[in-house]
Chains A and B, each alone.
Chain A
Amino acid sequence: MKSQINVRNVVVALVALGLLLLPLYSALTGNIFILTLFTRIVIFALAAASLNLIMGYGGMMSFGHAAYLGIGGYAVGILAHEGIGSGFIQWPVALAASALYALVIGALSLRTRGVYFIMITLAFAQMAYYIASGLSRYGGDDGLTIYKRSTFGGLIDLSNRVQFYYLCLGCLFGGVYLIWRIINSRFGMVVQGVRSNEQRMQAIGFHANRYRLVCFVISGTMCGLAGALLANNTDFISPAGMYWTRSGELMVMVVFGGMGSLFGPVLGTIVFLLLEEVLSQFTEYWALIMGPLLLLIVLFARGGIMGLLGRLSRG
């Protein structure tokens, strides 16, 4: 059996440990900023991980994942606006709405392949964006302020920074664990088999598109959860948060970390958002550096961070 101790696994373990201990560091140094920054990172990592499930394992290049962030967020925001503050109602609604959207969009989009799929998911996400802009009762273009975070009957206080961070981290680890279980299950094997050779899977007797669709819905639902968390984190939801560039950023995070690796998107998100943070402190025009950097990474660093670590592990 192969040794489990290699560079890649050590890095993953250290990052996971770091994420767990971060509030301790924040409390000891009084650095609150790093905790809020990492709360955001952890939430986006969940979204990226969900995207990786369909992109990396299912071979479905969704360019519309920001829509789920918006749908999950709007579910929380709209219910809060209408006076329903309980997370026990808000969150299931957020998940159900995302799942339903994913089901409809997926059923239509999965009729296409390749670049058509990229474009149709993009176009549907734009449609969702316009719907959100048209919600004049809920702020329209200007967005909706959420005055009170979701309540869970005293079980957990989302306004408490540390508790909220651990809730997000729990969701992330839970999500990654779920993905791990999925990809190693029979269902996950079929989905990966369809990615590699759809015709053969069909010939064996699997209904390829049904498996794909279920995978697509799971991913969308998970991303909807990230949306509910994100809305609680920013206390605000607006159409701008579901603009197509956000979907592009999510794709970048996945590819940065290494598509089709379990923990890669988490690393990718950390690197991408930290880089954005550092560059934007350095210069107002951070995208001037980030853009070409992205081009270079695509050109020269295939497999992302995980690919790099994998090469290091093999020596």
Chain B
Amino acid sequence: MLVLVEQSLNGLQFGLLLFLLAAGLTLVFGIMDFVNLAHGSLYMMGAYFAATFVAWTNSFILGILLALGATLLLGIALEFIALRHLYGRDHLDQVLATFGLILFFNDAVRLIWGPAGLSLPLPAWLTVPVQIVPGVFYPAYRLSIIVVALAVAALLYVVVMRTRIGMLIRAGASNREMIGALGINIKLLFTLVFGLGAALAGLAGLMQAPILTVQIGMGENILILAFVIIVIGGIGSIRGAFMAAIFVGMIDTLGRAFLPDLLRMVLSSAAASTAAPALSSMLIYLLMAIVLVVRPEGLFPAAKR
């Protein structure tokens, strides 16, 4: 029972991280109609920046704030230099160009930080276990990820649904030409949205960094998961991304935790321990296949453009 609570929290935490990544991806896609494979690279850069700045400043909080700002700037620069020329192009062109950017970022990181991974040590006050209900302890850091990610999700909701910027973003998603014609600086809006998406990706990367090692290619696997999430949730839909991210995070984590034991009931121990990791990795893709068969537009499709 305790394990189940703990693993569910882990699943929630992973799902929320995935949401941060998928939200940026789906925002950029919904508004600019732009497929950004390099989103995973921004996630990776967030983690590398955090590891570097925390080591420089000797302060965890200051370091991650700097890293967040750096990722935001990097995203804006990227949009300004290269990506804005790709809006309105074929999705294939966008995929290829941003694939080129992944190659670039991976080698740039290898050149700057070397091929070995970095680690981002946690400050002492984040390593203590917290008692969430009597008798159940949970690492403070993972708990803080949940809190931060939920806060960001709420903030994103308020910004998109309740502010003028959010109104422009939603208007841009439903009719780009029209809001341009109304005198809104659409280029600036796009740059802003892209920067926001980059910062969200960076935040996900730097929060994940203390749990896993910071390494080259760390953004690639998780990017594919983010794609799966926005396909399941419906491309362009933030609400769909949120639901699907939690769902995928739960399935992935719980599958990894409990599938080996479940399989052991029906298979021999050796067969189960080899089949389980592969099967739990596949679960999510199976889920996506089912969703696509039943509802090709995703579970929570954004309004038709």
- A245 contacts across to B, CB distance below 8 A: 99, 102, 220
Q: Which one of A25-33, A120-128, A202-210 is at the B interface?
A: A120-128
Q: Which of A126, A252, A259 contacts B285 (CB 8 A)?
A: A126
Chain A residues with CB under 8 Å of B286's CB are 127
Quick one: which of B99, B227, B230, B279 contacts A248, CB cutoff 8 A?
B99
CB-contact partner of A244 in B96, B224, B281, under 8 A: B224
- Given known A61-B91, A116-B231, A122-B227, contact A295–B110 (CB-CB < 8 A): no
Q: Which residue of A lies closest to B275 (CB)?
A: A134
CA distance A227 to B86 in the complex (A): 33
User: A104-134: contact bitstring with B at CB < 8 Å (1 yes, 0 no)?
Assistant: 0000110110111011101110110011011
From B139-147, B172-180, B287-295, give the one contacting chain A.
B287-295
The distance from the CB of B278 to the nearest CB of chain A, in whole angstroms, is 2
- Whether the Cβ atoms of B106 and A287 lie closer than 8 Å is yes
Task: Count contacts on A: residues with CB < 8 A to the other chain.
Answer: 45
The residue that B35 contacts in the complex, of A118, A134, A136, A251, with Cβ under 8 A, is: A118
Does chain A have a CB within 8 A of B228? yes
The complex places the Cα of A133 from the Cα of B274 at a distance, in Å, of 10
A119 touching B100 by the CB < 8 A rule?
Answer: no
Q: Do A299 and B107 form a contact, CB below 8 Å, given A111-B292, A124-B289? A: no
**A44 partner residues in chain B, CB cutoff 8 A:** none
Query: Cβ of A251: which chain B residues have Cβ within 8 Å of it?
Result: 92, 95-96, 99
Partner of A112, one of B102, B111, B292: B292
Is A123 within 8 A of B281, CB to CB?
Answer: no
- Nearest B residue to A249 via CB reads B99
Nearest CB of chain B from residue A106's CB, rounded to whole Å: 12
CB neighbours (8 Å) of B35 from chain A are 115, 118
In contact, B111 and A285 (Cβ under 8 angstroms) = yes
Question: Does B107 lie within 8 Å of A285, measured CB to CB?
Answer: yes
Residues of A within 8 A of B121 (CB): none
Give the total number of A-B pairs whose CB atoms are below 8 A apart: 134
Size class of B's contact patch?
A: 35 or more
| Alpha-carbon distance A63/B293, docked complex (angstroms) | 19
The reply to whether B106 and A120 contact each other, CB–CB distance below 8 Å, is no
The binding surface of chain A is classed by DSSP as helix
> Does A97 interact with chain B (Cβ within 8 Å)?
no
Is there contact, CB below 8 Å, between B288 and A295? Answer: no
A292 at the A/B interface (Cβ < 8 Å)?
yes
Q: Mark each residue of chain B from 254 to 288: 1 if its CB lies under 8 Å from any CB of chain A, else 0.
A: 00000000000000000000110111011001101
Please state if B96 and A294 are interface contacts (CB–CB under 8 Å).
Answer: yes
Q: How far is the CB of B104 from chain A (nearest CB, A)?
A: 3
User: When chains A and B are docked, how far (Å) is the Cα of A291 from the Cα of B123?
Assistant: 37
Q: Which of B49-92 contact A (CB under 8 A)?
A: 82, 85-86, 89, 91-92
Q: A126-B224, A134-B279, A292-B104 are in contact. List 8 more A-B contacts (CB 8 A).
A: A115-B29, A134-B281, A251-B96, A286-B107, A290-B104, A294-B96, A295-B82, A295-B100
Interface residues of B (CB under 8 A from A): 29, 35, 37, 82, 85-86, 89, 91-93, 95-97, 99-108, 110-111, 220, 224, 227-228, 230-231, 235, 274-275, 277-279, 281-282, 285-286, 288-289, 292-293, 296
Q: 9 A-B residue contacts at CB 8 Å? A: A120-B289, A122-B227, A123-B227, A123-B285, A137-B274, A251-B96, A291-B101, A292-B100, A295-B101
Chain A residues within CB distance 8 Å of chain B: 55, 61, 63, 108-109, 111-112, 114-116, 118-120, 122-124, 126-127, 130-131, 133-137, 140, 244-245, 248, 251-252, 255, 259, 285-288, 290-295, 298-299
